[in-house]
Protein backbone atom coordinates (compact mmCIF):
# COMPACT_ATOMS: atom_id res chain seq x y z
CA UNK A 1 0.00 0.00 0.00
CA UNK A 2 1.11 3.55 -0.63
CA UNK A 3 -0.31 7.00 0.08
CA UNK A 4 -1.17 9.17 -2.91
CA UNK A 5 -2.69 12.61 -3.39
CA UNK A 6 -5.51 12.53 -5.93
CA UNK A 7 -7.93 15.19 -7.16
CA UNK A 8 -10.79 15.61 -4.71
CA UNK A 9 -13.81 13.63 -5.91
CA UNK A 10 -16.95 15.55 -6.84
CA UNK A 11 -20.44 14.09 -6.54
CA UNK A 12 -22.45 13.62 -9.70
CA UNK A 13 -26.23 13.42 -9.97
CA UNK A 14 -27.69 11.26 -7.22
CA UNK A 15 -24.42 11.16 -5.27
CA UNK A 16 -23.04 12.65 -2.05
CA UNK A 17 -19.51 13.29 -0.87
CA UNK A 18 -18.67 12.25 2.69
CA UNK A 19 -15.74 13.90 4.48
CA UNK A 20 -14.15 11.22 6.68
CA UNK A 21 -13.82 11.60 10.44
CA UNK A 22 -13.00 7.96 11.19
CA UNK A 23 -12.19 4.91 9.06
CA UNK A 24 -12.44 1.32 10.25
CA UNK A 25 -9.77 -1.31 9.63
CA UNK A 26 -10.99 -4.88 9.31
CA UNK A 27 -10.06 -8.36 8.17
CA UNK A 28 -11.63 -7.90 4.68
CA UNK A 29 -9.23 -5.00 4.10
CA UNK A 30 -6.27 -7.29 4.73
CA UNK A 31 -7.75 -10.01 2.54
CA UNK A 32 -8.11 -7.48 -0.29
CA UNK A 33 -4.54 -6.32 0.12
CA UNK A 34 -3.16 -9.86 0.15
CA UNK A 35 -5.25 -11.05 -2.79
CA UNK A 36 -7.31 -13.54 -0.78
CA UNK A 37 -10.71 -11.90 -1.17
CA UNK A 38 -13.24 -13.04 -3.74
CA UNK A 39 -14.60 -9.53 -4.25
CA UNK A 40 -11.41 -7.53 -4.85
CA UNK A 41 -12.12 -4.29 -6.77
CA UNK A 42 -10.26 -3.58 -10.01
CA UNK A 43 -6.68 -2.36 -9.50
CA UNK A 44 -5.59 0.14 -8.40
CA UNK A 45 -7.98 0.47 -5.48
CA UNK A 46 -8.17 1.89 -1.97
CA UNK A 47 -9.01 -0.65 0.75
CA UNK A 48 -11.48 0.25 3.46
CA UNK A 49 -15.07 -0.80 3.97
CA UNK A 50 -16.15 1.43 6.88
CA UNK A 51 -16.11 5.23 6.90
CA UNK A 52 -17.99 7.73 9.03
CA UNK A 53 -18.09 11.48 8.69
CA UNK A 54 -20.10 14.42 7.39
CA UNK A 55 -21.76 15.06 4.05
CA UNK A 56 -19.98 18.09 2.61
CA UNK A 57 -21.31 18.12 -0.97
CA UNK A 58 -24.39 16.77 -2.75
CA UNK A 59 -25.06 16.15 -6.41
CA UNK A 60 -28.07 17.16 -8.47
CA UNK A 61 -31.35 15.55 -7.48
CA UNK A 62 -30.28 14.50 -3.99
CA UNK A 63 -32.94 15.04 -1.33
CA UNK A 64 -32.10 12.29 1.17
CA UNK A 65 -29.12 14.10 2.70
CA UNK A 66 -27.98 17.69 3.07
CA UNK A 67 -24.58 19.26 3.65
CA UNK A 68 -23.71 18.87 7.32
CA UNK A 69 -25.52 15.57 7.88
CA UNK A 70 -23.52 12.97 9.80
CA UNK A 71 -23.45 9.56 8.15
CA UNK A 72 -21.85 6.14 8.12
CA UNK A 73 -20.82 4.48 4.85
CA UNK A 74 -20.47 0.71 4.62
CA UNK A 75 -18.97 -0.70 1.44
CA UNK A 76 -21.55 -3.47 1.73
CA UNK A 77 -23.95 -0.88 0.29
CA UNK A 78 -21.71 0.11 -2.64
CA UNK A 79 -21.43 -1.35 -6.14
CA UNK A 80 -18.01 -2.74 -5.16
CA UNK A 81 -16.11 -3.22 -1.92
CA UNK A 82 -13.31 -0.93 -0.74
CA UNK A 83 -12.66 2.77 -1.21
CA UNK A 84 -12.74 3.84 2.43
CA UNK A 85 -9.07 4.65 3.07
CA UNK A 86 -9.55 8.23 1.92
CA UNK A 87 -10.13 11.72 3.27
CA UNK A 88 -13.37 11.89 1.29
CA UNK A 89 -15.47 9.43 -0.68
CA UNK A 90 -18.28 9.88 -3.20
CA UNK A 91 -21.11 7.36 -2.94
CA UNK A 92 -24.70 6.97 -4.17
CA UNK A 93 -27.04 8.96 -1.95
CA UNK A 94 -28.98 5.77 -1.15
CA UNK A 95 -25.93 4.12 0.44
CA UNK A 96 -25.10 5.95 3.72
CA UNK A 97 -26.80 5.43 7.05
CA UNK A 98 -27.82 8.51 9.02
CA UNK A 99 -26.04 8.73 12.37
CA UNK A 100 -28.22 9.68 15.35
CA UNK A 101 -27.06 12.32 17.80
CA UNK A 102 -24.64 10.95 20.35
CA UNK A 103 -23.08 8.34 18.04
CA UNK A 104 -19.45 9.25 17.34
CA UNK A 105 -17.68 8.53 14.08
CA UNK A 106 -15.34 6.12 15.88
CA UNK A 107 -18.27 4.18 17.27
CA UNK A 108 -19.93 4.15 13.86
CA UNK A 109 -17.04 2.39 12.10
CA UNK A 110 -17.48 -0.59 14.45
CA UNK A 111 -21.08 -1.13 13.33
CA UNK A 112 -20.24 -3.54 10.51
CA UNK A 113 -19.25 -6.16 13.10
CA UNK A 114 -22.56 -5.74 14.91
CA UNK A 115 -24.49 -5.92 11.63
CA UNK A 116 -22.75 -9.22 10.89
CA UNK A 117 -23.34 -10.40 14.46
CA UNK A 118 -27.05 -9.65 14.24
CA UNK A 119 -27.29 -11.61 10.99
CA UNK A 120 -25.38 -14.55 12.47
CA UNK A 121 -27.86 -14.70 15.35
CA UNK A 122 -31.06 -13.94 13.47
CA UNK A 123 -30.57 -15.04 9.88
CA UNK A 124 -27.70 -17.52 9.40
CA UNK A 125 -29.03 -19.39 12.45
CA UNK A 126 -31.63 -18.56 15.05
CA UNK A 127 -30.57 -19.53 18.56
CA UNK A 128 -33.14 -18.86 21.25
CA UNK A 129 -32.87 -17.27 24.67
CA UNK A 130 -31.47 -19.81 27.11
CA UNK A 131 -29.52 -21.78 24.53
CA UNK A 132 -25.73 -22.07 24.73
CA UNK A 133 -23.25 -20.61 22.24
CA UNK A 134 -19.52 -21.22 21.84
CA UNK A 135 -17.75 -18.39 20.02
CA UNK A 136 -14.27 -18.79 18.55
CA UNK A 137 -12.00 -15.71 18.39
CA UNK A 138 -14.31 -13.99 20.86
CA UNK A 139 -11.84 -11.15 21.42
CA UNK A 140 -11.91 -10.19 17.74
CA UNK A 141 -14.20 -7.62 16.14
CA UNK A 142 -16.89 -9.99 14.91
CA UNK A 143 -16.49 -12.37 17.85
CA UNK A 144 -16.79 -9.61 20.42
CA UNK A 145 -19.88 -8.22 18.73
CA UNK A 146 -21.41 -11.71 18.81
CA UNK A 147 -20.75 -11.98 22.54
CA UNK A 148 -22.49 -8.66 23.26
CA UNK A 149 -25.46 -9.30 20.99
CA UNK A 150 -25.98 -12.89 22.16
CA UNK A 151 -26.08 -11.75 25.78
CA UNK A 152 -28.51 -9.00 24.74
CA UNK A 153 -30.76 -11.76 23.34
CA UNK A 154 -30.64 -13.83 26.54
CA UNK A 155 -28.25 -16.61 25.53
CA UNK A 156 -25.52 -18.35 27.52
CA UNK A 157 -22.18 -17.53 25.93
CA UNK A 158 -18.82 -19.28 26.18
CA UNK A 159 -16.02 -17.37 24.48
CA UNK A 160 -12.66 -18.70 23.29
CA UNK A 161 -9.65 -16.36 23.49
CA UNK A 162 -5.89 -16.66 23.36
CA UNK A 163 -4.07 -15.48 26.47
CA UNK A 164 -5.10 -13.94 29.80
CA UNK A 165 -5.46 -10.38 28.49
CA UNK A 166 -7.86 -11.40 25.74
CA UNK A 167 -9.70 -13.68 28.15
CA UNK A 168 -10.27 -10.76 30.52
CA UNK A 169 -11.50 -8.67 27.60
CA UNK A 170 -14.08 -11.30 26.60
CA UNK A 171 -15.20 -11.62 30.19
CA UNK A 172 -15.70 -7.85 30.35
CA UNK A 173 -17.90 -8.11 27.25
CA UNK A 174 -20.29 -10.25 29.28
CA UNK A 175 -19.42 -13.84 28.39
CA UNK A 176 -20.65 -16.37 30.95
CA UNK A 177 -17.34 -18.23 30.74
CA UNK A 178 -14.09 -17.76 28.83
CA UNK A 179 -11.84 -20.55 27.60
CA UNK A 180 -8.18 -19.55 27.28
CA UNK A 181 -6.99 -21.75 24.44
CA UNK A 182 -3.35 -21.05 25.38
CA UNK A 183 -3.70 -22.89 28.70
CA UNK A 184 -6.95 -24.88 28.52
CA UNK A 185 -8.22 -27.73 26.35
CA UNK A 186 -11.27 -26.33 24.58
CA UNK A 187 -13.13 -29.63 24.34
CA UNK A 188 -12.54 -30.57 27.96
CA UNK A 189 -13.64 -27.15 29.17
CA UNK A 190 -16.82 -27.19 27.05
CA UNK A 191 -17.69 -30.62 28.44
CA UNK A 192 -17.16 -29.31 31.97
CA UNK A 193 -19.21 -26.15 31.43
CA UNK A 194 -22.07 -27.99 29.73
CA UNK A 195 -21.97 -30.99 32.10
CA UNK A 196 -21.22 -33.23 29.14
CA UNK A 197 -24.18 -32.08 27.06
CA UNK A 198 -22.31 -29.88 24.59
CA UNK A 199 -23.38 -26.51 23.20
CA UNK A 200 -26.29 -25.70 20.93
CA UNK A 201 -24.41 -23.47 18.48
CA UNK A 202 -20.75 -22.91 17.64
CA UNK A 203 -19.78 -19.74 15.76
CA UNK A 204 -16.43 -20.28 14.08
CA UNK A 205 -14.46 -17.67 12.12
CA UNK A 206 -11.16 -19.51 12.63
CA UNK A 207 -11.55 -22.92 10.87
CA UNK A 208 -8.09 -24.31 10.05
CA UNK A 209 -6.86 -27.82 10.87
CA UNK A 210 -8.81 -28.13 14.15
CA UNK A 211 -12.18 -27.27 12.64
CA UNK A 212 -13.49 -30.85 12.85
CA UNK A 213 -13.27 -30.64 16.66
CA UNK A 214 -16.32 -28.36 16.61
CA UNK A 215 -18.64 -31.27 15.88
CA UNK A 216 -17.49 -33.13 18.99
CA UNK A 217 -18.60 -30.22 21.18
CA UNK A 218 -22.17 -29.90 19.90
CA UNK A 219 -25.27 -30.91 21.79
CA UNK A 220 -28.01 -32.94 20.10
CA UNK A 221 -29.39 -31.04 17.08
CA UNK A 222 -26.54 -28.54 17.46
CA UNK A 223 -25.14 -26.50 14.60
CA UNK A 224 -21.76 -25.08 13.59
CA UNK A 225 -21.90 -21.74 11.78
CA UNK A 226 -18.68 -21.21 9.84
CA UNK A 227 -18.15 -17.62 8.68
CA UNK A 228 -14.39 -17.12 8.40
CA UNK A 229 -11.04 -18.80 7.85
CA UNK A 230 -8.53 -16.95 10.05
CA UNK A 231 -6.45 -20.12 10.49
CA UNK A 232 -6.94 -21.30 6.92
CA UNK A 233 -9.33 -23.61 5.13
CA UNK A 234 -10.45 -26.72 7.03
CA UNK A 235 -9.95 -30.25 5.80
CA UNK A 236 -12.40 -30.60 2.88
CA UNK A 237 -13.54 -33.94 4.32
CA UNK A 238 -16.23 -32.44 6.54
CA UNK A 239 -18.61 -35.37 6.29
CA UNK A 240 -16.49 -37.82 8.30
CA UNK A 241 -16.46 -35.81 11.57
CA UNK A 242 -20.13 -34.93 11.08
CA UNK A 243 -20.98 -38.60 10.56
CA UNK A 244 -19.06 -39.46 13.73
CA UNK A 245 -21.61 -37.27 15.54
CA UNK A 246 -24.54 -38.77 13.63
CA UNK A 247 -26.31 -39.79 16.82
CA UNK A 248 -26.59 -36.12 17.71
CA UNK A 249 -27.89 -35.09 14.25
CA UNK A 250 -25.49 -32.13 14.02
CA UNK A 251 -25.58 -29.48 11.33
CA UNK A 252 -23.25 -27.09 9.48
CA UNK A 253 -23.99 -23.71 7.92
CA UNK A 254 -21.44 -21.87 5.76
CA UNK A 255 -22.33 -18.18 5.92
CA UNK A 256 -21.20 -15.14 4.00
CA UNK A 257 -22.89 -11.76 4.16
CA UNK A 258 -22.57 -11.71 0.39
CA UNK A 259 -25.64 -13.94 0.28
CA UNK A 260 -27.50 -10.68 0.95
CA UNK A 261 -25.88 -8.68 -1.85
CA UNK A 262 -29.27 -8.62 -3.58
CA UNK A 263 -31.32 -8.32 -0.37
CA UNK A 264 -30.78 -4.75 0.86
CA UNK A 265 -33.93 -4.96 2.96
CA UNK A 266 -32.43 -7.64 5.21
CA UNK A 267 -28.88 -6.27 5.06
CA UNK A 268 -29.82 -2.68 5.84
CA UNK A 269 -32.34 -3.81 8.43
CA UNK A 270 -29.54 -5.58 10.31
CA UNK A 271 -27.49 -2.37 10.30
CA UNK A 272 -30.43 -0.39 11.64
CA UNK A 273 -30.73 -2.96 14.43
CA UNK A 274 -27.06 -2.41 15.25
CA UNK A 275 -27.47 1.37 15.27
CA UNK A 276 -30.52 1.10 17.54
CA UNK A 277 -28.61 -1.15 19.97
CA UNK A 278 -25.78 1.39 20.08
CA UNK A 279 -28.12 4.31 20.73
CA UNK A 280 -29.87 2.32 23.49
CA UNK A 281 -26.56 1.57 25.18
CA UNK A 282 -27.03 -2.20 24.71
CA UNK A 283 -23.63 -2.54 23.04
CA UNK A 284 -20.40 -0.75 23.86
CA UNK A 285 -17.83 -0.74 21.04
CA UNK A 286 -14.21 -0.73 22.14
CA UNK A 287 -11.44 1.08 20.27
CA UNK A 288 -8.07 -0.67 20.47
CA UNK A 289 -5.93 1.86 18.62
CA UNK A 290 -6.15 5.09 16.65
CA UNK A 291 -3.66 5.71 13.85
CA UNK A 292 -3.30 8.34 11.14
CA UNK A 293 -4.66 7.52 7.70
CA UNK A 294 -1.14 7.46 6.27
CA UNK A 295 -0.30 4.76 8.84
CA UNK A 296 -2.67 2.25 7.23
CA UNK A 297 0.12 -0.25 6.63
CA UNK A 298 1.01 -0.17 10.32
CA UNK A 299 -2.67 -0.69 11.16
CA UNK A 300 -2.64 -3.87 9.05
CA UNK A 301 0.53 -5.09 10.77
CA UNK A 302 -1.10 -4.44 14.14
CA UNK A 303 -4.23 -6.39 13.21
CA UNK A 304 -2.21 -9.26 11.77
CA UNK A 305 -0.11 -9.42 14.94
CA UNK A 306 -2.98 -11.02 16.84
CA UNK A 307 -2.95 -8.73 19.88
CA UNK A 308 -5.91 -6.53 18.95
CA UNK A 309 -9.01 -6.42 21.14
CA UNK A 310 -11.63 -4.09 19.75
CA UNK A 311 -11.43 -1.87 16.68
CA UNK A 312 -8.44 -0.32 14.95
CA UNK A 313 -9.41 3.11 13.59
CA UNK A 314 -7.69 5.39 11.09
CA UNK A 315 -8.08 9.14 11.52
CA UNK A 316 -7.68 11.37 8.43
Domain boundaries, the chain: 15-110+285-315, 112-258
Q: What is the pLDDT of residues 201-240, one digit of tens each?
A: 999 999 999 999 999 999 999 999 999 998 999 999 999 9
Global pTM value: 0.94
Asked if the domains at 15-110+285-315 and 112-258 fall in one CATH topology, the answer is: no
Distance CA 75, CA 96 (A): 9
Q: With a cut of 90, say whether residue 23 has pLDDT above it.
A: yes
DSSP letters of 167-235?
A: HHHHHHHT-SEEEETTTS-HHHHHHHHTTTS-EEEEEES--GGGTTHHHHTEEEEEEEEE---TT-PPP
Report, as an integer, the average pLDDT of 103-124. Answer: 98
**112-258, which class in CATH?**
alpha beta
Alpha-carbon Rg of the chain, whole angstroms?
Answer: 20
Distance CA 195, CA 282 (A): 30
Q: Which residues pair with 289 in a beta bridge?
A: 312
CB 40 within 8 A of CB 109: no
Is 66 in a helix, a strand, or coil? coil
Lowest mean pLDDT, pick from 3-12, 30-39, 177-186, 199-208: 30-39
What letter does residue 294 receive in the DSSP assignment? G
Q: Which CATH superfamily is domain 15-110+285-315 in?
A: Medium-chain alcohol dehydrogenases, catalytic domain (3.90.180.10)
Q: What is the pLDDT of residues 125-177, one digit of tens each?
A: 999 999 999 999 999 999 999 999 999 999 999 999 999 999 999 999 999 99
Amino acid sequence: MRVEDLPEPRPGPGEVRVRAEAIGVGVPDMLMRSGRYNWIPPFPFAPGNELAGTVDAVGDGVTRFSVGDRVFVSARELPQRGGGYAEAIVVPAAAPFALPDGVSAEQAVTLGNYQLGWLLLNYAAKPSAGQTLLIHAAAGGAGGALVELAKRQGMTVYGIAGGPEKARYVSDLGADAVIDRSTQDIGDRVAELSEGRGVDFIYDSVAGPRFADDFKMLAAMGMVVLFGYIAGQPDPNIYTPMRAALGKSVGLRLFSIHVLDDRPDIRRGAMEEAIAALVAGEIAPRIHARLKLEEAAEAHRLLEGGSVTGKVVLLP
